[in-house]
């Protein structure tokens, strides 16, 4: 079975720009969650998608938005990038909301 894959692995953007991060969920998984991990900290929950609908959201502003597609892959979009958005963004998939959660390798975003 294929695992969770994320693209790109690294990205450098300028403050004010917009970015789209992508995630392919593990085969058979219909739930995707996104987490932000700042350097030296634990991951923070951004939001979760279940069957193409947002199913929960953490304490992140509206400029963080997402999508889930019919094949359960997902995108994370961040508008008006700020320096503090620099972090590792992790995508996780699971077969159902409380299922076994697998993570991708992450996208390291640097905002300059």
Partner 1 sequence: AQKVTQAQTEISVVEKEDVTLDCVYETRDTTYYLFWYKQPPSGELVFLIRRNSFDEQNEISGRYSWNFQKSTSSFNFTITASQVVDSAVYFCALSGFMDSNYQLIWGAGTKLIIKP
> Least distance to partner 1 from the beta carbon of 56, Å?
3
The residue among 40 and 70 lying less far from partner 1, judged by its C-beta, is 40
Rule CB under 8 A: say whether 57 interacts with partner 1: yes
One residue of 17, 18, 27, 41 binding partner 1 per CB under 8 A: 41
Q: Which of residues 59-88 bind partner 1 (CB under 8 A)?
A: 59, 88
Rule CB under 8 A: say whether 101 interacts with partner 1: yes
3-state helix/strand/coil string of the chain = CCCCEEECCEEEECCCCCEEEEEECCCCCCEEEEEEECCCCCCEEEEEEECCEEEEECCCCCCEEEEECCCCCEEEEECCCCHHHCEEEEEEEECCCCCCCEECCCEEEEEC
Interacting residues toward partner 1 by CB under 8 A: 33, 35, 41-45, 48, 55-59, 88, 90, 92, 97-98, 100-106, 108
């Amino acid at each position: 079975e294929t695992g969770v894959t994320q693209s790109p692995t690294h990205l450098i953007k300028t403050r004010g720009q917009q970015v789209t991060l992508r995630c392919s969920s593990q085969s058979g998984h219909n739930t995707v969650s996104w987490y932000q991990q700042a350097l030296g900290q634990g991951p923070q929950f951004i939001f979760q998608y279940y069957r193409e609908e947002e199913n929960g959201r953490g304490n992140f502003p509206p400029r963080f938005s997402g999508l889930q597609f019919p094949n359960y892959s997902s995108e994370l979009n961040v508008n008006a990038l700020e320096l503090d958005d620099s972090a590792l963004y992790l995508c996780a998939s699971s077969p159902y909301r409380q299922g076994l959660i697998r993570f991708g390798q992450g996208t390291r975003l640097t905002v300059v």
